[in-house]
Structure 1
């Protein structure tokens, strides 16, 4: 007895993406040693293959549809199989996340690559973004054949860096798109360059001007920004300011804040500074260190108006938890420790400042 044919997708995953190689198999049970010639049809129209497998290289949208098969041997003809629905989806773009996003020099960084929508069979490839403007990527060690795990740990990271990932699967090496770059930021000064902010603050009023200057051993330094929105379209200084030499001048009523750093033509990086914008001219800002504070050093935080008036009766918050509200003007830490690192903000008369990150580094890092 010959059973009704059945169309099977020869893959360990059910979701198919544009560009993949697809093989459909027509399976007929029974019939002894019958030699079958196969007929295929897509959306009720006959298609050429006569073998038991139908291979589609670099599948496209118009390959989506219902596929059926039947077997023929002399005068013996099977029924048409039930239709198998092949759906072709657009090539996925993974989402890369980095933890922590702000690091202490020498800390480990974990990259995680997620393919959306989820699907099986992926191997993951990890890259360091050498030059963001031209998207030059360098494979990370141990990544040439991909990793089965969708995470990758980088040990001993010291300075600001950007990373991307992509996923691949199948014998014919189908790859997803590259993820958008994700960054790990370091406020510590690397040997190559430093970013200086004038006025020397990380919180600014929208109506203020600010100058960001690259200081280092290269004439090709450019100020870069990763905006709060996370979109890379307004990536260069020329989009939201004026580049003069190695300084970027941002005029009043500039756009939202973000993380700023200097990048050379060869892909070297300075420290990163996270600048936050206060939208209201009658609002308040937190005065906090722009650059990392060394363990054991004193640090003072204060709350100020646009006219830089020092406010009293202020509440201070660390990582959104109330830290001090005893009426004092300033938050003073006599000897800062690693546990003091984090996000700070202040509140006065019902008005709250934006929050800013204060980085704490060990004494050995301050001598790098």
Structure 2
């Protein structure tokens, strides 16, 4: 150790060892306590190299990562290791450091020190990484409206898609008591899939799905995606929903109700729209027994269905509430090939006094004094968007779906 008296400020030393200092003043000298000691190590020519797993361009908060320190030409020498991470400095006798990350960005470095010697390598070159918040995947479903028995394709998108993720797929199960869903793994996805898509074969009823991704061992999971729903207009015995009046479009002044029929005593009516994602009848209507009366004060487009406590989903109904003076009266659910269908125009207050125009997929198909469009035997070619016009006014358009017999 140094013993000479020096003025305050930095000094340079050329030998390894343990150093400390203290101050003094006066005659005789009054000394402070000794400082904490600092050990100076002699640099050795070996080079430290730090690696990180997962070796991804981005890592995530709470993810378990492994830092490994390799000493080039380290031979049989016994080493201890020092680590610098964005949040701490650590010492270890092992050349691996395993820990959970925290949000932030910074460098990861290591160096080695020979055991029982005051000599060490320089710090390794840094690995720079940003620790991001846990990712939230986005699920898409196709098609959004089902034909009976069709296959449904689920796609799960997550940030840094190629960074070793496996994908897990679930169906939603209604939990009526707390207005939420539990999730059940779909067949074949308990260990995740390498592909970011999954096909559900033979889907017949309305259903909800979620996905998440995971990587590493033990598995680090993303959050669950928001639920996405594939919708079916087909009735089935365990749960069904009917709309009254039976049509897709309604005026804001109309009285519109949705009625549930099914085997379960515990159930709820759900509403899916662009502005408000998912909500129950109590937020946009009034329950009376098994009927939900809609509040039609605000015009909106939404899809409605029922969910039961035993896990069933009813048919879905697409409803448009309009503040226009004219609406198109069209079926609220798909029609069957070969059936006769009547679509008509309705004014809020006055009667028709001139020609009424009907359009199919923006193509004019009827223009005369009739306010009805009659199709005697519906075919697949009749599927599409319909609207009507009268005296410069135009209804919203509605989709008419045609299903097989």
> TM-score, length-normalised on structure 1?
0.88
Q: How many residues get paired?
A: 355
Per the alignment, in what secondary structure is the counterpart of residue 258 of structure 2?
Answer: strand
Per the alignment, in what secondary structure is the counterpart of residue 218 of structure 2?
Answer: coil
Per the alignment, in what secondary structure is the counterpart of residue 316 of structure 2?
Answer: strand
Which of the residues 112, 118, 128 maps onto 2:171? 128
Q: Compare the two structures and name the one with the higher strand fraction.
A: 2
Counterpart for residue 300 of structure 1: 342
Pairs within 5 Å for 1:155-304: 155-229=201-275, 231-232=277-278, 235-254=279-298, 256-280=300-324, 282=325, 284-304=326-346
Task: Confirm or deny: 8 A CA contact 2:342 2:372 kept in the other structure.
Answer: yes
For residues 51 and 308 of structure 1, the distance between their equivalents in structure 2, rounded to whole angstroms, comes to 86
**Structure with more contact order per residue of length (Cα contacts < 8 Å, sep ≥ 6):** 1
For residues 287 and 327 of structure 2, the distance between their equivalents in structure 1, rounded to whole angstroms, comes to 27
For residues 298 and 308 of structure 1, the distance between their equivalents in structure 2, rounded to whole angstroms, comes to 28
Per the alignment, in what secondary structure is the counterpart of residue 184 of structure 2?
Answer: strand
Counterpart for residue 112 of structure 1: 155
Task: Confirm or deny: 8 A CA contact 2:329 2:344 kept in the other structure.
Answer: yes
Which region of structure 1 is more displaced relative to structure 2, 158-167 or 208-217? 208-217
Task: Confirm or deny: 8 A CA contact 1:102 1:185 kept in the other structure.
Answer: yes
Instruction: Report whether the alignment pairs 1:18 with 2:61.
Output: yes
Unaligned runs of 5+ in 2: 1-43
Which of the residues 329, 342, 366 maps onto 2:384? 342
For residues 50 and 66 of structure 1, the distance between their equivalents in structure 2, rounded to whole angstroms, comes to 21
Task: Confirm or deny: 8 A CA contact 2:355 2:367 kept in the other structure.
Answer: no
Counterpart for residue 110 of structure 2: 69
For residues 153 and 349 of structure 2, the distance between their equivalents in structure 1, rounded to whole angstroms, comes to 42
Rg (Cα) greater in structure: 2
CA gap 1:20/1:201 in 2 versus in 1, 3 angstroms: same
Deviation at 1:187, TM superposition (A): 0.8
Counterpart for residue 51 of structure 1: 94
Deviation at 1:339, TM superposition (A): 3.7
For residues 44 and 216 of structure 1, the distance between their equivalents in structure 2, rounded to whole angstroms, comes to 57
For residues 308 and 104 of structure 1, the distance between their equivalents in structure 2, rounded to whole angstroms, comes to 39
